[in-house]
Amino acid sequence: MKRVIVITGASSGIGAALAELLSQNGAQLALAARREHELSAVAARAGAEALAITADVTRRSDVERLAAECLARFGRIDVWINNAGRGISRSVLELSEQDFDEMMSVNVKSALYGMQVAVPIFRRQGAGHLINVSSLLGRMPLAPLRSAYSAAKHALNALTANLRMELRGEPQIFVSAVHPGVVATEFGQNALHGGPDSRQLPGAQSPAEVAAVLASVIEAPRADVYTRAQAKQMVVSYYGAEDMAEAERKPPLFQQ
């Protein structure tokens, strides 16, 4: 049976690359994003069965509509991937309330809505897989200009882990977090207040590489996954440091 997979933030970057890869693997896709034209182009590349749903996932009603339209078309949802997100270019002392609210809305509340909509569906079905696309910045403060984005991804990681614990008596429902580092997408340019083009940063992973990791998590569910081999050791070293301030002075292997 073909898996039915929902991907938010599917109009570009990681979401678009993942849609194309999963379509090649035979998945039935419900793709969501705000940009209708770009989303339709991705859906066209993902095959005739792909369902494009223009939605703003910072609105709970849109997330509920996304689920309803997917169920109406395919009859079930096997995997829900909360991928929508946005960065920011502001240090802690520069942040406005509006900056912080935007980061929490786009990066945390949208995923919370997805979790609260998807899990009841999984329970009715008796199985399902929830994947939250987080960030290495949700583990380590590698880039002070991404302060509120980093804070939002830390919050997302906490919600993800707590949901997994909440569902530990339901072993057929999996909950995963995936943590990319810098990825060669429009993320930097689209950040609130602008920023460097992530595609020009040294060592950026391609969206296709990250998509391949996400596809592997779908095939073999794991709780917490990094898209770079060295990232987990960086996190372990940071939290295991005698003095975190000293660890923060060391240059990271890559930044976002």
Question: Which domain CATH number covers 102?
Answer: 3.40.50.720
Residues 6+ apart with CB under 8 A from 138: 150, 152, 153, 154, 156, 157, 177, 179
How many domains does the chain fold into? 1
Two structure tokens written together for 17: 């690359």
Residue in the block written with tokens 């079905």: 125
- What SS3 class is residue 74? helix
**228 located within any domain:** yes
**36 located within any domain:** yes
The pLDDT score that the predictor gives to residue 204 is: 82
The pLDDT score that the predictor gives to residue 252 is: 61
Two structure tokens written together for 120: 């009841």
**216 located within any domain:** yes
Q: Give residue 76's domain range.
A: 4-248
Look at the alpha carbons of 44, 50, 56, 61 in this order and tell me if their dihedral is positive or negative.
positive
Decide: 63 and 117 in contact? Cβ < 8 Å.
yes
pTM recorded for the entire structure: 0.95
Task: Please state the separation of Cα 143 from the chain's center in Å.
Answer: 18
The vertex-183 CA angle with 114 and 31, nearest 5°, equals: 35
Q: Catalytic residue among 113, 149, 226, 239, which?
A: 149
**256 located within any domain:** no
Q: How far apart are the C-alpha atoms of 183 and 166, rounded to whole Å?
A: 31
Q: Answer yes or no: 226 catalytic.
A: no
**253 located within any domain:** no
Residuewise pLDDT in 10s, the chain (256 residues):
799 999 999 999 999 999 999 999 999 999 999 999 999 999 999 999 999 999 999 999 999 999 999 999 999 999 999 999 999 999 999 999 999 999 999 999 999 999 999 999 999 999 999 999 999 999 998 899 999 999 999 999 999 999 999 999 999 999 999 999 999 888 888 889 988 777 877 778 999 999 999 999 999 999 999 999 899 999 999 999 999 998 888 766 444 3
Q: How far apart are the C-alpha atoms of 235 and 241, rounded to whole Å?
A: 10
The pLDDT score that the predictor gives to residue 255 is: 42
Decide: 121 and 77 in contact? Cβ < 8 Å.
yes
Query: Do strands 4-8 and 79-82 pair parallel, antiparallel, or not at all (unpaired)?
Result: parallel
Task: Please state the separation of Cα 159 from the chain's center in Å.
Answer: 13
**254 located within any domain:** no
Q: Which helix (H) or strand (E) holds 113?
A: helix 110-125
Cross-strand pairs, 90 = 146
